[in-house]
Copies of this chain bind each other. A is one copy, B any other.
Amino acid sequence: MTEHPSWSQLTEDEHQPWQTLSSRQLVGGFRPVMEDRVRVSEGTETTYQYRPRGPRAVFIFPVTAAGEAVLIRQYRYPLRATITEIVAGGVERGEELRHAAERELLEEVGGHAHEWLALPGFYPQPSISGVAFYAYLALGVTLGEMAHEATETIERVTVPLTEAYRLLEAGEIQDASSGLTMWHARRLLVERGLL
């Protein structure tokens, strides 16, 4: 399955209850921040700061043929902390989602997958951002050399799937998108006899 049925629903609505009165860019570049003046209803206006739709990322939960989860430990500068995550990365302009997923799997953990299963997509922070994330379960993953960007501080950690889900249930997968992807993958892993 190349795309999950839910992905086509991650779009703007036809009906817009709020009306944009004016819009200006507070921060430019790769991750723009906008500030709009908005009419919420008759007589109610507000100012809304947000990141617009456009940027997309892919999240990949890699599992080996032996039933091991491939996790990463990544230093996140905004947190000033190293946390446990799954493989993820931004989709380049014009890039196919599946291509981005294969690229990130290779770059971050040196992985190749035998089979790709699409999982539900989601919005990580809809109150302030239009960014959309797309998730995959990658099965039969083999691991080789990693090719991290110079500005990534990543360690690869391979653990049995039961241990990965123990971490998840204990709240030790602190990245929301990684945790959500793992939960969505669980039933498929059970059905395959891997968990």
Contact = CB atoms under 8 A, between A and B. Distances in A.
Contact of A52 (B12, B26, B78, B175): B78
Interface stretch (A61-69, A108-116, A164-172): A164-172
Given A27-B26, A49-B31, A183-B180, A153 B13 contact: no
B176 A129 contact: no
Tell me how many chains of this kind the complex includes: 2
Interface in A150-195: 150-151, 153, 169-177, 179-180, 183-184, 187
Contacts of A150: 40-41, 44, 46
A53 interface: yes
Contacts of A76: 123, 126-127
Nearest to A186: B183
Contacts of A79: 12, 53, 123, 126, 130
Interface string A8-25: 011111001110000000
Contact of A169 (B40, B44, B187): B187
Query: Which of A31, A127, A172, A184 has the most chain B CB atoms inside 10 A of its CB?
Result: A127
Q: Is the interface of A mostly helix, strand, loop or mixed?
A: mixed
18 contacts: A7-B171, A9-B174, A17-B82, A38-B77, A46-B150, A79-B123, A79-B126, A79-B130, A120-B171, A122-B174, A122-B179, A123-B176, A124-B176, A125-B131, A176-B177, A180-B180, A180-B183, A183-B183
Interface of A: 4-7, 9-13, 16-18, 26-27, 29, 31, 33, 36, 38, 40-41, 44, 46, 48-53, 75-83, 85, 119-131, 133, 150-151, 153, 169-177, 179-180, 183-184, 187
